Amino acid sequence: DQSETRRIDRMRADFIANASHELRTPLASISGFIETLRGPARNDEKARENFLQIMQTQTARMARLIDDLLSLSRIEMKAFARSSERIDIVALVSGVVESLGHLAQEYGITVNFSPPGNPIFAPGNRDELIQVFVNLLENACKYGQSGGKVDISIAETATGPSREVAVTIRDYGPGIPEEHIPRITERFYRIDVESSRVKNGTGLGLAIVKHILTRHDGRLTIRSTL
């Protein structure tokens, strides 16, 4: 039975095609502006400043995409690695909330977070867990902007065979149609491509979150109502 091998080959081919497309679009834009700056807009100072700003935005977009591609590749290469470091999840999430305060302010979002009074420890890789909560909070601010607020809570649960730590991030934006929810952790899957690009999304953030949580014996649960 070669079906699984063929499925992986198709996924790999789709991934390369999507990554190439995502990089080609800003490259084509930059190339076009360079031609214009060397020709018709050579002496147009106003046009030059405008084009240079757009080019800077496009190069930043490519840099974000490459960073996310490298992160995803690095995580997948060590998919079964385990860290023995004990992380205070409360302090870690508090640090992420503080570091993204400027972004929340930029989107007009109020972040409501009342951390538990005691530390809650879990084994894990600090940098990778920071990346998880940065990605989730960024998404909540960007795509839930219309709701005006984001609620974050941390609790210890005992629903499984052992103690678990549950971190909940809730926005009040437009929500996600139910049929999209199973696919939004796929690489480059977007509900609204243009909206994602306008908000500087790379289409890889939730794929990275999913892979990191899998490495940590964790899970990502997504609930949404339009």
pLDDT for 7: 67
pLDDT for 74: 74
Q: What is the DSSP string of the chain?
A: --HHHHHHHHHHHHHHHHHHHHHHHHHHHHHHHHHHHHTTTTT-HHHHHHHHHHHHHHHHHHHHHHHHHHHHHHHHHTTT-----EEEHHHHHHHHHHHTHHHHHHTTPEEEE---SS--EEES-HHHHHHHHHHHHHHHHHHTGGG-EEEEEEEEE-SSSS-EEEEEEEE-SS---GGGGGGTTSTT--SSHHHHHHTT--S-HHHHHHHHHHHTT---------
Is 86 a residue whose pLDDT tops 80?
yes
pLDDT tens digits, 33-69: 888 888 888 888 888 888 888 888 888 878 877 887 7
Q: How confident is the model at residue 151 (pLDDT cuts 50, 70, 90)?
A: very high
Which of 62-76, 90-104, 147-161, 200-214 has the lowest average pLDDT?
62-76
pLDDT for 25: 75
pLDDT for 49: 86
pTM exceeds cut of 0.95: no
pLDDT for 80: 62
